[in-house]
Amino acid sequence: MYKNLVPRFLRYVQINTRSEANSKTIPSTESQKEFARLLAAELRELGLNDVTYNDDNGYVTATLPANTTAKVPTIGFIAHMDTADFNAENIKPQIHANYQGQAVVLNKEKNIVLSPADFPSLKNYIGETLITTDGTTLLGADDKAGIAEIITALEILLNDDSIKHGDIRVAFGPDEEIGIGADRFDVEGFNADFAYTVDGGPVGELQYECFNAASALVTIQGKNVHPGTAKGKMINALKLALAFDAALPPDEVPEKTAGREGFYHLLRLNGEVEQAELEYIIRDHDRQLFAERRETMLKIARALNTEYGSERVVVSIKDSYYNMGEIIAKDMTVVNLAKKAMENLGIKPMITPIRGGTDGSKITFMGLPTPNLFTGGENFHGRYEFITVESMQKAAAVIVEIARLAAENS
Architecture of the domain delimited by 212-321 = 2-Layer Sandwich (3.30)
Are the C-beta atoms of residues 292 and 282 closer than 8 Å to each other?
A: no
End-to-end CA distance of the chain: 26
Whole-angstrom Cα distance, residue 197 to residue 297? 33
Q: What per-residue confidence (pLDDT) applies to 396? A: 98
pTM for this structure? Answer: 0.92
Q: Say whether 224 sits in a helix, a strand or coil.
A: coil
What is the average pLDDT across 59-64?
Answer: 98
If we measure between CA atoms, which residue out of 83, 80, 63, 82 comes closest to residue 172? 80
What is the average pLDDT across 393-404?
Answer: 98
How far is C-alpha 306 from the chain's CA centre? 40
Listed in sequence order, the residues at least 6 apart from 226 whose beta carbon sits closer than 8 Å to its beta carbon are: none
| Burial class of residue 228, CB neighbours in 10 A (0-12, 13-18, 19+) | exposed
If we measure between CA atoms, which residue out of 193, 199, 181 comes closest to residue 78? 199
What is the average pLDDT across 10-26?
Answer: 96
AA identity, residue 115: S
CATH superfamily of 5-209+323-408: Zn peptidases (3.40.630.10)
Edge to edge, what strands does the sheet with 94-96 contain? 94-96, 130-132, 386-388
Are the C-beta atoms of residues 254 and 264 closer than 8 Å to each other?
A: no
Is the pLDDT reported for residue 362 higher than 90?
yes
Are the C-beta atoms of residues 26 and 58 closer than 8 Å to each other?
A: yes
82 is catalytic: yes
Tens of pLDDT along 114-164?
999 999 999 999 999 999 999 999 999 999 999 999 999 999 999 999 999
How far is C-alpha 406 from the chain's CA centre? 26
Q: Cite the residue boundaries of each domain of the chain with CATH code 3.40.630.10.
A: 5-209+323-408
Q: What per-residue confidence (pLDDT) applies to 289? A: 97
Q: Say whether 316 sits in a helix, a strand or coil.
A: strand
Q: What per-residue confidence (pLDDT) applies to 358? A: 85
Taken in order 63, 68, 73, 75, the sign of the CA dihedral is negative
Q: DSSP label at 219? A: E
Listed in sequence order, the residues at least 6 apart from 195 whose beta carbon sits closer than 8 Å to its beta carbon are: 75, 76, 77, 78, 169, 360, 363, 368, 369, 370
Are the C-beta atoms of residues 67 and 406 closer than 8 Å to each other?
A: no
176 is catalytic: yes
What is the average pLDDT across 175-203?
Answer: 96
Burial 300-317 (b: 16+ CB within 10 A, else e): bbeebeeeeeeebbebeb
Q: Cite the residue boundaries of each domain of the chain with CATH code 3.30.70.360.
A: 212-321
Whole-angstrom Cα distance, residue 329 to residue 273? 49
Whole-angstrom Cα distance, residue 292 to residue 360? 25
Q: DSSP label at 235? A: B
Catalytic residue among 20, 42, 82, 284: 82
Listed in sequence order, the residues at least 6 apart from 335 whose beta carbon sits closer than 8 Å to its beta carbon are: 206, 208, 328, 351, 371
Whole-angstrom Cα distance, residue 83 to residue 14? 11
Catalytic residue among 20, 142, 143, 176: 176
Q: What per-residue confidence (pLDDT) applies to 167? A: 98
Tens of pLDDT along 299-355?
999 999 999 999 999 999 999 999 999 999 999 999 999 999 999 999 999 999 999
Antiparallel, parallel or unpaired: β 75-80 and 194-200? parallel
Tens of pLDDT along 227-267?
999 999 999 999 999 999 999 999 999 999 999 999 999 99
Burial 9-26 (b: 16+ CB within 10 A, else e): beebbebbbbbbeeeeeb
Q: What per-residue confidence (pLDDT) applies to 357? A: 82
